[in-house]
């Protein structure tokens, strides 16, 4: 058995499998180690399964509200087992696609745990692999908070919540980052009594302050209760809030972020993806991999962020609270497309200085696509003046960007 490789990769998530595929295209002999499932957290326990469930929850909510669009329906019901079956099917199909791509690229995949013991040696199942280069992309895990340790039954992690076979009647979500916001939307859409507890002054504290305030307003209108500037502790399956209130939920989701998987770092090994402890997003990990293998650099400060659901939330670059900028904001209610779709609660905001866009913040359907228009402009130093020369289709959400730049 030949155990010498040009490149050894530990971890088969977005950073790992992207590295493997791109290295293989360069003619390198590659071995990839994955102890769990190819695709990592993003595909198996994160982005994809969550968005699958979220999508179905939004269909259910739309059907319940169909009468306001002139459509009469009987009382709709959902079958959560079928929701999960669909989710599992999507994950499996995508996983098989990645596995086939790796097979076609002649990447050797070892489905076992592995440990780098030097900058050129990896040990797995008692076998020593010699590699000219090693990439470690072992990801991250749900962050554990003292006093709120996961038990898989009452106190759930973002992994545990995907294992629920039926939805609870009530849930407290501790933390309002992307995971907390998306699961709050899922639970609320399915009719679960949903309460968020956030330590910071506003929900989604990493976002632009105007985005945070809008999400608070939307949640309030949707009956999602939330507490900010508040901490939580547990006693006898009750949630004790720092403001003195006591909540007795059926379940608790602790969604306070993720932490890099603990490993002893070895000099000479390239650490990428979540384990590096930078921006914990799949697309950031993919770009790290491409930069490392192909030398195609990217501006890490221009990594877009998206929170899914209705409306989507997306941003890139500077926030309003980060400095003094020229600001242009268009309310969705001014857009014909938003009125037609019945999705008028949101906005598109662009921040600029000296004719250059420095940030954009969008609360709107299709925000995940809209933000890429801004990303392309920012990455290529396209000026506000140049953007004014572009013809935007009507009626679209994109013309909100056009309307914004006209005011800059």
237 and 313 assigned to the same domain: no
121 and 270 assigned to the same domain: yes
185 and 312 assigned to the same domain: no
276 and 346 assigned to the same domain: no
Band (pLDDT 50/70/90 cuts) for residue 74 is confident
For 4-49, the pLDDT digits (tens) are 999 999 999 999 999 999 999 999 999 999 999 999 999 999 999 9
- Is the pLDDT assigned to residue 263 strictly greater than 80? no
Mean pLDDT of the chain: 96
Contact between 331 and 202 under an 8 Å Cβ cutoff? The reply is no
Nearest C-alpha neighbor of 14 from the set 112, 101, 114, 133: 101
Q: What pLDDT sits at residue 376?
A: 97
| CATH number (domain holding residue 189) | 3.50.50.60
Last residue of a domain, one of 192, 227, 256: 256
| CATH number (domain holding residue 328) | 3.30.390.30
Band (pLDDT 50/70/90 cuts) for residue 291 is very high
Contact between 202 and 212 under an 8 Å Cβ cutoff? The reply is yes
243 and 312 assigned to the same domain: no
229 and 98 assigned to the same domain: no
136 and 263 assigned to the same domain: yes
331 and 212 assigned to the same domain: no
* Residue range(s) defining the domain that contains residue 394: 301-406
Contact between 280 and 198 under an 8 Å Cβ cutoff? The reply is no
The structure's pTM equals: 0.95
Tokens of residue 382, six digits: 């396209």
Phi/psi zone of residue 69: left (φ > 0), alpha (ψ -120 to 50 degrees), beta? alpha
What whole-number distance in Å separates Cα of residue 14 and Cα of residue 9? 12
Nearest C-alpha neighbor of 23 from the set 123, 105, 110, 113: 105
């Amino acid at each position: 058995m030949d155990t010498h490789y040009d490149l050894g990769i530990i971890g088969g998530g977005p950073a790992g499998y992207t590295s493997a595929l791109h290295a293989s295209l360069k003619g390198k002999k590659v071995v990839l180690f994955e102890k769990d499932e190819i695709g990592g957290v993003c595909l198996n326990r994160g982005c994809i399964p969550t968005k699958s469930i979220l999508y179905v929850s939004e269909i259910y909510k739309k059907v319940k509200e169909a009468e306001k669009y002139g459509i009469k329906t009987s009382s709709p019901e959902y079958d959560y087992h079928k929701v999960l079956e669909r989710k599992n099917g999507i994950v499996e199909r995508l996983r098989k696609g990645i596995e086939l791509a790796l097979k076609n690229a002649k990447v050797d995949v070892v489905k076992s745990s592995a440990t780098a013991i030097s900058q050129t040696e990896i040990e797995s199942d008692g076998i020593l692999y010699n590699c000219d280069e090693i990439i470690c992309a072992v990801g991250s895990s749900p962050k554990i908070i003292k006093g709120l340790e996961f038990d898989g039954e009452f106190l759930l992690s973002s992994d545990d919540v995907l294992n629920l076979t039926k939805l609870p009647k009530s849930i407290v979500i501790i933390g309002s980052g992307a995971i907390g916001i998306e699961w709050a939307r899922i639970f609320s859409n399915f009719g679960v009594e949903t309460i968020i507890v956030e330590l910071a002054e506003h929900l989604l504290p990493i976002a632009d302050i105007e985005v945070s305030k809008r999400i608070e307003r939307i949640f309030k209108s949707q009956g999602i209760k939330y507490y900010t500037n508040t901490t939580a502790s547990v006693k006898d399956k009750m949630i004790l809030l720092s403001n003195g209130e006591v909540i007795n939920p059926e379940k608790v989701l602790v969604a306070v972020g993720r932490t890099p998987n603990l490993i002893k770092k070895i000099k000479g090994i390239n650490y990428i993806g979540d384990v590096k402890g930078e921006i914990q997003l799949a697309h950031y990990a993919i770009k790290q991999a491409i930069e490392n293998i192909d030398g195609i650099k990217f501006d890490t400060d221009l990594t877009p962020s998206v929170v899914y659901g209705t409306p989507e939330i997306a941003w890139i670059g500077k926030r309003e609270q980060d400095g003094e900028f020229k600001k242009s904001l268009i309310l969705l209610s001014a857009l014909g497309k938003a009125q037609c779709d019945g999705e008028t609660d949101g906005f598109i905001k662009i921040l600029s200085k000296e004719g250059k866009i420095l940030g954009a913040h969008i609360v709107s359907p299709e925000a995940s696509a809209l933000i890429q228009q801004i990303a392309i402009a920012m990455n290529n130093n396209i000026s506000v003046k140049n953007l004014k020369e572009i013809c935007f289709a009507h009626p679209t959400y994109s013309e909100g960007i056009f309307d914004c730049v006209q005011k800059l």
